[in-house]
Amino acid sequence: MEMITKLICEKNKISYVVFDKKFLIKDFNSSLELIVDEPDNLKQATDIREVMWEFVGLENRMEELYSGLESVIHFPMIKKDENYYDLDVETYINEENERVFIAYLIQKPKESLGYINMIKEINRRTLILESDDKKNQEEHYNLINKKLLSFNVDMDGIITLSNDAFSYFFDLSSDQILGKHFSYFFKARDLTLHGNTSIIFNAINQKEEIISFHANIIPLAKEGITYENIIICQDVTYLKRIEKELVFAASHDSLTGLANRSQLLKKMDRSITKRNGVLGNFSICCIDLDKFKPVNDNYGHHAGDMLLKHIAKVLTDFVRKKDMVARIGGDEFVIFFDSLSEKKSLCKMIERIEELPSKKPFIYSEEDIIEFSFSLGVASFPRDAKDSQTLLNVADKAMYMSKKSEH
């Protein structure tokens, strides 16, 4: 697991566990010990189902997730002791080039617990309302936290009532809100309220920022017939931010910010799928940094890290926008050249890469200029291989043959 992913989890108090296709634990962080029912059993090679009952009976869904039929499995509001957690399960390619599962447990903030109890209370009072037509709907709104946007809509989606938090968020008066369809203020993939109990809305606040809301839909009924819905929205933008950070961390190198091996292979796979039966091709160039160990030995690991960052920038500045630079381990980089496999053009490109170390030296300090050089290996689709991993192996082998011949 990438170090940056671990740091993000620690920073945001997210517990995680990594396990393989056989449900055997491979990695976890210490905060998970405070959540699982039997922390003594939480160790590597233990079946995750022995410490987290949530995975019992999920074999079929996990298989679908593993095979790509699902992108994520989401379990909202799992109760552990007195706390609630959202559980998300995804897959990623680890450093051993193995597809594994990773489960994140994100503790809900204290206001969310009040939010849950509030929803329960509103539902309870809704039942009372069915048998008491004289109940005033304002009682429902007195239960709602002022930080939560809430509004009523009729069966056509027209807003009939809204709270102060709604007016404040959009900087509008009630007169400017009432009578409009709720889609005027909120966007979502699915704006259908009927049959839904919750939905994710996006809205733009006064600062022109996109805010994400988790909206609970609570039907109001008389004599068993729903006539309106209360919609209560909780800001979950911070969860979306964390999600984006985790997605980036899972697909990028933590030191250089370049794409990692997993992201590179996905790029190659997409290009192969897109080009099957269509004119088009691409090439990859494996780049190994020569004599990297002496840099660490003579100047320290900080200098080595700075050199890798320097090379990442040099290569990124060199390639075209449609190309990709990846770091796939240690001192090894790969350039993906989109729509480039003609030998003459490729040879010219390689010659230019070989000139980069002399044109872009690494100035470590006023006294120290650290020289470096590359060993290169090239492979092209579909000339050298028909799948991504084989193509990468061909280029990698060519690179090591080049490195061997130079020494």
Q: What is the mean pLDDT of each run of 10 residues along the chain (407 residues)?
A: 64 85 92 82 88 80 86 74 79 86 80 52 51 47 61 92 90 93 85 72 87 87 86 82 76 90 91 66 93 88 91 94 93 93 88 93 87 93 92 94 78
Q: Please tell me whether the overall predicted TM-score, pTM, comes out greater than 0.85 for this model.
A: no
pLDDT computed for residue 110 by the predictor: 54
Q: Do the Cβ atoms of 62 and 22 come closer than 8 Å?
A: no
- Residues ≥6 apart with Cβ < 8 Å to 9: 15, 16, 29, 104, 246
Distance CA 63, CA 187 (A): 33
Rounded to the nearest 10°, the torsion over CA 28, 249, 187, 70 is -60
Going by their DSSP bridges, the two strands 149-154 and 369-370 should be labelled as: unpaired
* Fold category of 111-238 in CATH: Beta-Lactamase (3.30.450)
Q: What DSSP letter does each residue of 58-121 carry, written as one string?
A: -HHHHHHHHHTS-S-EEEEEEEETTEEEEEEEEEEE-TTS-EEEEEEEEEPPHHHHHHHHHHHH
Two domains, one topology: 3-108 and 111-238: yes
CATH superfamily of 255-405: Reverse transcriptase/Diguanylate cyclase domain (3.30.70.270)
> What Rg do the C-alpha atoms of the chain give, in angstroms?
28
CATH number corresponding to 3-108? 3.30.450.20
pLDDT in tens, 284-324: 999 999 988 888 888 888 889 999 999 999 999 999 999 99
Encoded amino acid at 131, one letter: S
Mean pLDDT of the residues in the chain: 82
336 - beta bridge partners?
Answer: 284, 324
pLDDT computed for residue 52 by the predictor: 85
Q: Do the Cβ atoms of 140 and 118 come closer than 8 Å?
A: no
pLDDT computed for residue 353 by the predictor: 94
Distance CA 191, CA 193 (A): 6
Distance CA 370, CA 38 (A): 52
- The structural domains of the chain, with segments of one domain joined by +, span 3-108, 111-238, 255-405
Q: Do the Cβ atoms of 47 and 23 come closer than 8 Å?
A: yes
Q: Do the Cβ atoms of 16 and 28 come closer than 8 Å?
A: yes
Mapped onto helix, strand or coil, the DSSP state of residue 176 is helix
